[in-house]
Amino acid sequence: MADIRELIELLLSEYKDKMTVAIPDDVNVQRLMYNSLVSVRAPGLNGVVNQAYLKLQNEFLQEEIFKQGIVLTDSLLSVCEEFNIPTKKVDPEAMMKPGARFTLCHSDKISLYKGDITSLKVDMIVNAADPNMLGCFTPNHISVDSRIHLLAGVELRAECDEIVKRYGRGLRPGEARVTKGYNLNCDYIAHTAGPLFRGQITDQIERELTSCYQASMKEAEKLKLKTIAFPVISTGDNGYPLDAACNVALQAIDEYFDEADTLKKAVIVAYDEDAYYAVLGSIKDAI
């Protein structure tokens, strides 16, 4: 079993000339302390992150991921199977008519899962990322972005930093960039920045939110992946209304499947009961 105290000691050693901090005996408090140190750690620091540290970190994180449980994507029923929804033939002409109602056509390729996206064994997970693409620096903040960076390990922020430097900027709304999955149960992570809701749903922010899903699916296809999992993007701190965001998510994913090549399944991951029933409501409205 990996020693969280040793990890904390190593991370604190990066601040040895600036402060002295006592490590508490309570394991739960140690966990919060470790999470905080990882959250605030700058990507450019090289101090303790060597092969010995990474070995210890990876053992610890893989134990954490195993304890929370691993959900196989293949074990998830499709919307078609779970809710007895028939697939429908894609009719481009009907969809192009003014005022046409969105109809779900690929219910056999979409699954709905309530839980933690980091539990899924999937080819690619999508991170609802901060525009800086470096993760959240607020200690113990509850978000998809924080959770993904915490369980992937410090190498993820370092790779994101390299990508940001290569592009000369962070993420624009609707963009997607790909990294490795590191300790997570996925091979890749697509980082996408959702639009910020400012009190009104405009055509622009709806297009940006649509692009978050479709740009991520496009990146998965470039890598010839078969499965991808999405959170309900922009509904946390970005404030996008949940029901409207679920409608955009479902339609964006379904439309991409009209011309998808390698992708065979997309999972919409609802983080709580409210999100689950919002997605379910979108599905029922689209059949």
C-alpha 174/C-alpha 213 separation (Å) is 8
Q: Which phi and psi angles does 92 have, rounded to 5°?
A: -60, -40
Provide the β-strand partners of residue 173: 193
Quote the pLDDT of residue 12. Answer: 87
Q: Give Rg (Cα) of the chain.
A: 20
Quote the pLDDT of residue 46. Answer: 58
Compute the Cα dihedral for 103, 105, 107, 111 and give only its sign. negative
Q: Is 12 exposed, middle or buried (0-12, 13-18, 19+ CB in 10 A)?
A: middle
> Please, what is the Cα angle at 41 between 35 and 44, to 5 degrees?
150
Quote the pLDDT of residue 220. Answer: 98
- The SS3 of residue 250 is helix
Show the domains of the chain with their CATH numbers.
Answer: 4-66 (no CATH), 69-285 (3.40.220.10)
Contact between 162 and 63 under an 8 Å Cβ cutoff? The reply is no
Quote the pLDDT of residue 125. Answer: 98
Mean pLDDT by 10 residues, the chain (287 residues): 84 76 89 93 72 91 94 93 76 56 89 96 97 92 93 95 95 97 97 93 95 98 98 93 96 95 97 94 89
- The SS3 of residue 38 is helix
Query: What is the phi-psi region of residue 55: left when phi exceeds 0, alpha when psi lies from -120 to 50, beta otherwise?
Result: alpha
Each residue's pLDDT tens digit, 126-176: 999 999 999 999 988 889 999 999 999 999 999 999 999 999 999 999 999
Q: State the alpha helices, DSSP H only, in 191-241.
A: 203-222
C-alpha 229/C-alpha 186 separation (Å) is 10
Q: Which of 152, 125, 199, 159 is nearest to 44 (CA)?
A: 159
